[in-house]
Amino acid sequence: MSESINTIAADAEELWQLPDKGQVGMACLIVAETAIFAIFVVAYIFYLGKSLSGPTPAEVLKLPIVGTVCLLSSSLTVHFAVAALEKGKARLSTLWLAATVMLGAIFLGGTAMEWHELIYRYGLTIQTNLFGTTFYSLVGLHATHVLAGLLMLTLVLIFGIKGKLNSSHAHRLDMLSYYWHFVDAVWVVVFIVVYVVGI
């Protein structure tokens, strides 16, 4: 190390660059959240097929295609919203945000309808069996995260509609979009575990 010290000291003034606070912080949050989700996913897989009574996943679950397509494409729209705001196009960004919020809301609506059907048509609640226990907690934990992201995005959308959004907010919106991408990525795992492997 010793040979490079002097150059580092000399260049310290100009070259001293550290990672961005927001990015590191959001990465940490994502790691911690991943650990929580991992345990719920493990519990789901561990209890697959161990329910002592019905209904089973194969009997009642349908692939939530519409919701999945909406949620995954909302990752794209939020990315466009960030890109537009970075270029200073606040109105365009607001439009993309509106699309994101709408897509997220459709996803949550889909989950609500799915749960309604499971509860009232098939009589599956969190108390029914191990499938109900693990299904509602895993999907519910994810839906809670979607809801949290949706509330924050709606807040930004309101600022956008009121014309308070400008390019100085681009970095914050970018961080929010990291969270949203994470929530989407978790859905990919949940989708595969619950609706593909688990059936």
Partner 1 sequence: MTETTAVLPYGDHSHGKLWLDTVASWITTVDHKRIGLLYIGYALVFLVIGGIEALVMRVQLSMPNNHFVTPAVFNRMFTMHGTTMVFFVGMPILFGFGNYLVPLMIGARDMAFPRLNAFSFWISAFGGLLLYFSFVGGDGLYGAGTAPDVGWFAYAPLTARIFSPGHSTDYWILGVFLSGIGSVGTALNLVVTILSLRCKGMTLGRMPLLAWIYLVTSWMVFIAIGPLTAAQIMLLLDRSLGSHFFDAQAGGSAVLWMHFFWIFGHPEVYILVLPAFGFANEIIPVFSRKAIFGYPAMVAATVGIGFISMGVWAHHMFTVGLGPAGNIFFVFATMIVSVPTGIKIFNWLATLWGGKIHFASPMLFSIGFLFQFLIAGLTGIMLSVAPFDWQLGNSYFVVAHFHYVLVGAILFMIFAAFYYWYPKMTGRMLSETLAKWHFWLFLIGFHLTFDLMHVPGVLGMPRRVYTYEADRNWGSWNMAVSIGAIIQTAGVLCFVWNMIRSYRKGKLAGADPWDAWTLEWKTSSPPPHYNFAEEPVVESRRPLWDLKHPNETDTEYE
**Binding interface with partner 1 (CB under 8 A):** 1-2, 5-6, 8-9, 12-13, 16, 18-21, 24-25, 28-29, 31-40, 43, 46-47, 50-52, 126-127, 129-130, 132-134, 136-137, 141
- Give least dist CB 51 to partner 1, A: 6
Between CA 80 and CA 66 the distance in angstroms is: 21
- Which residue lies nearer to partner 1 by CB, 96 or 135? 135
Residues in the chain: 199
Q: Which is nearer to partner 1, 96 or 178 (CB)?
A: 178
**19 or 121, CB closer to partner 1?**
19
CB atoms within 10 A of CB 7: 10
Q: How far apart are CA 119 and CA 102, in angstroms?
A: 25
State the Cα–Cα distance between residues 40 and 199, nearest whole angstrom: 17
Asked whether the beta carbons of 91 and 166 are under 8 A apart, the reply is no
* Of 14 and 162, CB closest to partner 1: 14
**Neighbouring C-alpha atoms within 13 Å toward the C-beta of 136:** 14
Q: In terms of CB distance, is 33 or 114 closer to partner 1?
A: 33
Minimal distance, residue 160 CB to partner 1, in Å: 25
- Taking every pair of Cα atoms in the chain, the longest distance, rounded to a whole number of angstroms, is 74
User: Minimal distance in Å, beta carbon 56 to partner 1?
Assistant: 13
* Nearest approach, Cβ of residue 193 and partner 1 (Å): 15
Q: Least Å distance between CB 64 and partner 1?
A: 22
Residue at 82: amino acid letter: V
